[in-house]
């Protein structure tokens, strides 16, 4: 009896979350793909019917004949979509590099801090992550506006005499992404630096390395796992970012998250937005799989 209960318990532990994720995470992707193959229709929901589970196999085959790649053809015909994908990847890439450049010294300083204040510093990095993303992006509008706080400050100390135009340019998007995703980069780098064996750096210094060489040849390679994890945590979501380009970017800034949102909300074109999402997912599948493997490996080491 106990054995049956025990087997049942371990089964349930696996099956319940497994089934939930299959149904609410994996299956929806197939629906997205399926709808990306259907036609736009003036109806609610606004696409031609996709599948009828009660039609049996012949019904499904019947429907399969109506599959069309029109939406994908449409995406290749309009250069706007291609540009949006390319500029999303470029903006996300540049922002990731900038985030790394700012986050690394902070994480390094935290790892070098006295042990007693490290938990407080850690808490201070995590805290902004708990405050609303939307609010943190919104806070930058008042700072970056032409008559905003940054320009007021710079003009009052006579650094500039004309207000800088930052809001509604790509620079505002870079600032927004770097700011919003900074904790995601700091935390993994900090945790890999903190675990490091510091006698190695000391040995390098004793053997005559300059501090910079010691850092570049010893410390940095050892923190690479954290750097890679941090970069993926920033890059992948940044490619599909919607809120930041929408609030901080200009009308000419193209990012695919914004395109998808407009296609869906303004044009009500569900099949085309599904096609846009499918291609975005295809672009991101490699980095995501790489991220999962890195994550699984890190867990294996923690065991």
Partner 1 sequence: MGNWSRFNIASIVLGFGFLYLPIVLLVIFSFNESKLVTVWAGFSTKWYTQLWHNQALLDAAWVTIRVALISATCATVLGTLAALALVRYTRFRGRMLFSGMVYAPLVMPEVITGLSLLLLFVAIGLDRGFWTITLAHITFTMCFVAVVVQSRLLSFDQSIEEAALDLGATPVRTFFAITLPVIAPAVFSGWVLAFTLSLDDLVISSFTTGPGATTLPMKIYSQVRLGVTPEINAICTILIGVVAIGVVVASIVTKQREAQRERDERAAFAQS
- Binders in 95-114 for partner 1, by CB under 8 A: 102-103, 105-106, 108-114
Which of these segments, 62-70, 73-81, 156-164, 295-303, binds partner 1 (CB under 8 A)? Answer: 295-303
Minimum separation from the CB atom of position 76 to partner 1 (A): 20
How far apart CA 293 and CA 44 sit, in angstroms, is: 41
Minimum separation from the CB atom of position 210 to partner 1 (A): 15
How far apart CA 77 and CA 210 sit, in angstroms, is: 56
63 binds partner 1 (CB under 8 A): no
User: In the set 188, 226, 240, 245, which binds partner 1 (CB under 8 A)?
Assistant: 240
- Binders in 10-49 for partner 1, by CB under 8 A: 10, 12-14, 16-18, 20-22, 24-29, 31-32, 35, 45
Minimum separation from the CB atom of position 235 to partner 1 (A): 9
For residues 49 and 221, which CB has a smaller minimum distance to partner 1 in the complex?
49
93 binds partner 1 (CB under 8 A): no
For residues 91 and 277, which CB has a smaller minimum distance to partner 1 in the complex?
277
Interface pattern 113-142 for partner 1 (x via CB under 8 A)? xx------x-xxx-xx-xxxxxxx-xxxxx
Q: Return the bridge partners of 40, or none.
A: 47
SS3 of 222-289: HCHHHHHHHHHHHHHHHHCCCHHHHHHCCCCCCCHHHHHHHHHHCCCCHHHHHHHHHHHHHHHHHHHH
198 binds partner 1 (CB under 8 A): yes
Cβ-proximal residues to 59 (8 Å cutoff; 6+ apart), any chain: 52
- Binders in 131-190 for partner 1, by CB under 8 A: 131-136, 138-143, 145, 147-149, 152, 179, 182-183, 186
- Nearest-CA neighbor of 184 among 245, 136, 134, 232? 232
Quickly list H helices, 65-210. 70-77, 79-112, 118-130, 133-144, 149-156, 170-195, 199-206
Minimum separation from the CB atom of position 77 to partner 1 (A): 22
User: In the set 201, 248, 253, 272, which binds partner 1 (CB under 8 A)?
Assistant: 201
- Please give the helix or strand (H or E) that residue 8 lies within, else none: helix 2-21
**Contact 240/277 with Cβ under 8 angstroms?**
no
């Amino acid at each position: 009896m106990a054995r049956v209960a025990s087997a049942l318990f371990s089964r349930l532990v696996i099956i319940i979350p497994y089934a939930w994720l299959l149904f609410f995470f994996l299956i929806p992707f197939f629906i997205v793909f399926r709808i990306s193959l259907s036609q736009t229709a003036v109806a609610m929901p606004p696409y031609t019917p996709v599948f009828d589970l009660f039609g049996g196999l012949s019904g499904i085959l019947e429907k399969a004949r109506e599959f069309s790649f029109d939406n994908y053809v449409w995406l290749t015909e309009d250069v706007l979509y291609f540009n949006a994908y390319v500029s999303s990847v470029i903006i996300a890439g540049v922002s990731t590099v900038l985030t790394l450049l700012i986050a690394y010294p902070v994480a390094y300083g935290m790892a070098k801090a006295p042990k007693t204040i490290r938990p407080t510093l850690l808490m201070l990095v995590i805290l902004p992550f708990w405050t609303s993303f939307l609010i943190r992006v919104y806070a930058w509008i008042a700072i970056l506006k032409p008559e905003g706080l940054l320009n007021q400050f710079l003009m009052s100390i006579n650094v500039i005499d004309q207000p800088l135009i930052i809001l509604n340019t790509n620079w505002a998007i870079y600032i927004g992404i770097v700011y919003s995703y900074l904790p995601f980069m700091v935390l993994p780098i900090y945790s890999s630096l903190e675990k490091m064996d510091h006698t190695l750096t000391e040995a390098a210094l004793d053997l005559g390395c300059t501090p910079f060489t010691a850092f570049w040849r010893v410390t940095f390679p050892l923190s690479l796992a954290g750097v890679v994890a941090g970069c993926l945590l920033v890059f992948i979501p940044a490619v599909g970012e919607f809120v930041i380009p929408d609030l901080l970017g200009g009308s000419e800034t193209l990012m695919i998250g914004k395109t998808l949102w407009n296609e869906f909300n303004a044009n009500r074109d569900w099949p085309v937005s599904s096609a846009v999402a499918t291609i975005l997912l295809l672009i991101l599948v490699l980095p995501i799989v790489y991220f999962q493997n890195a994550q699984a490996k890190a867990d294996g080491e923690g065991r």
